[in-house]
């Protein structure tokens, strides 16, 4: 069994979409954005893509915000553009409140499963350091 019927293909398209601005509704721009993406893909060689679509499911910033409560519907945080965030993500420790720590895709080092996992490890290390707990990584088994 495959993900597509015989002699058909499954295509997953993932684009980098900025977070929603206050009051913005992705439903208003969704069709226009879809048209831009399909036009670009067809120009890059996927000729007839638009006409060959039989089933389509969209996962938009509205979807992400509704399902996961992600701020602005973004898995990468509200300032994903390096020009806007200076290449820096929210640090593991709060600079305002003591004993407040951050972890996740919008924090350092960024989004995606490996980076979120690393974010959790970096935050755990920061907590261990602040409370002078032995590091999990340095624990010897034997």
The pTM of the full predicted model, rounded to 2 decimals, is: 0.59
pLDDT tens digit sequence for 26-49: 888 889 999 999 999 999 999 999
Phi, psi (degrees; rounded to nearest 5) at 6: -55, 135
So what's the pLDDT on residue 142? 45
- Per-residue pLDDT tens over the stretch 77-107: 655 555 555 456 677 888 898 889 988 777 7
Q: In terms of domains, do 2 and 63 share one?
A: yes
Mean pLDDT of 118-138: 80
Q: List pLDDT tens digits, range 53-78.
A: 998 998 888 888 888 777 778 776 65
* Residue 99 is assigned to a structural domain of this protein: yes
Q: Are residues 37 and 67 in the same domain?
A: yes
DSSP-assigned beta bridge partners for residue 90: 107
DSSP 22: T
On whether both 2 and 71 belong to a single domain, the answer is yes
Structural domain span for residue 120:
89-142
Last residue within a domain, chosen from 75, 108, 123: 75
How many residues can be counted in the chain? 142
Between these two residues, 17 and 8, which has the higher pLDDT value? 8
Asked if 70 and 8 sit in the same domain, the reply is yes
Numbers of helices and strands, H then E, in the chain: 5, 0
Mean pLDDT of 121-137: 80
Residues 48 and 95 in one domain: no
Report if residue 28 sits inside a domain.
Answer: yes
């Amino acid at each position: 069994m495959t993900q597509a019927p015989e002699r058909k293909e499954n295509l997953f398209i993932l684009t980098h979409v900025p977070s929603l601005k206050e009051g913005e509704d992705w439903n208003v721009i969704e069709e226009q954005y879809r048209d831009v993406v399909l036009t670009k893909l067809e120009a890059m060689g996927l000729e007839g893509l638009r006409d060959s679509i039989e089933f389509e499911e969209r996962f938009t910033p509205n979807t992400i915000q509704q399902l996961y409560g992600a701020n602005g519907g973004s898995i990468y945080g509200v300032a994903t553009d390096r020009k806007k965030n200076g290449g820096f993500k929210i640090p593991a420790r709060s600079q305002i409140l003591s004993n407040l720590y951050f972890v996740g895709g919008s924090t350092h080092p960024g989004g995606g499963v490996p980076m979120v996992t690393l974010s959790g490890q970096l935050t755990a290390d920061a907590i261990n350091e602040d409370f002078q707990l032995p590091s999990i990584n340095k624990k010897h088994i034997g």
